[in-house]
Amino acid sequence: AQSVTQPDIHITVSEGASLELRCNYSYGATPYLFWYVQSPGQGLQLLLKYFSGDTLVQGIKGFEAEFKRSQSSFNLRKPSVHWSDAAEYFCAVGPNNNNDMRFGAGTRLTVKP
Amino acid sequence: NAGVTQTPKFQVLKTGQSMTLQCAQDMNHNSMYWYRQDPGMGLRLIYYSASEGTTDKGEVPNGYNVSRLNKREFSLRLESAAPSQTSVYFCASSGREGRMSYEQYFGPGTRLTVT
């Protein structure tokens, strides 16, 4: 069955530092991969997606992610974190047998001043 | 263009009460979804509708029913609420019929508490 693992429940970084959020997936075929961000009390907003082609994808707000098939990973990166990046981040993979996406449990990012 | 809207934003129910969560999208999307979000568990799919007139169970359908009223609207009903249904509920839509190939757009959520 398709699944997504986000190994880090909570990460704290200093403002201006680089960021990498990890995502590992289990999927039988070529996956479609997504990163979403959720600010407190809000819905989910798409940061970026990978369907095919270039394995390094650029998203909004200065985020990027790299698809590594050999490692079954799709890690999210940002070179310099801003205080406004504090949020919860979800990795997702699809489609699965129910035509839905499977979400990871999320990583909560705290940004120290 | 409001995207995906949900009502109500907050709701408190007593055990055994019923209610319907409403969702509407104005993006002319074919597919719509209901998820629940619980701490440490990410989002789990309750039901989805690949196109108007069709609905299918997701990962956690027990205790819920849905109606795809038309292309715009997809409602979620709790017939007899239980404390285990305390959660945040998100509606989403996507533009590709059937297989979920494109990204999903999410509503702001409904925070439901069942006492």
Provide the 3-class DSSP secondary structure of residue A70.
helix
Residue written as token pair 């959720």: A38
Mean pLDDT of A97-104: 74
Question: Which residue bears the tokens 């369907």?
Answer: A51
pLDDT in tens, B7-36: 999 999 999 999 999 999 998 888 899 999
Distance (Å, rounded) from C-alpha A11 to C-alpha B67? 39
Nearest to B42 among A41, A45, A105 (CB): A105
**What distance in Å separates residue B114's CA from the closest CA in chain A?**
19
Structure token digits, residue B91: 């509606």
Answer whether B45 sits within 8 Å of A51, measured CB to CB.
Answer: no
- Cβ–Cβ of B56/A101 closer than 8 Å? no
- Which residue in the set B41, B103, B108 is minimally distant from A46, CB to CB? B103
Nearest of B5, B1, B14, B60 to residue B32 by alpha carbon: B5
Yes or no, beta carbons of A103 and B108 under 8 Å apart: no
List, for residues B49-92, the tens digit of each pLDDT value. Answer: 988 889 999 889 999 999 998 999 999 999 999 999 999 999 99
The DSSP symbol for A41 reads: T
A96 has pLDDT over 70: no
- Check residues B65 and A40 and name the one with the higher pLDDT: B65
Per-residue model confidence (pLDDT) at position A41: 82
Of B40, B59, B100, the CB nearest to A105: B40
Integer Cα distance of A36 and A58 in angstroms: 13
Q: Is A50 on the interface with B (CB under 8 A)?
A: no
- What is the rounded CA–CA span in Å between residue B1 and residue A78? 30
Q: For residues A87 and A78, give the distance between their C-alpha atoms in angstroms, rounded to a whole number.
A: 14
Distance from CA of A59 to the nearest CA of B (A): 13
Sign of CA dihedral B100, B41, B47, A88: negative
Distance CA A77, CA B62 (A): 37
B15/chain A closest Cα distance in angstroms: 25
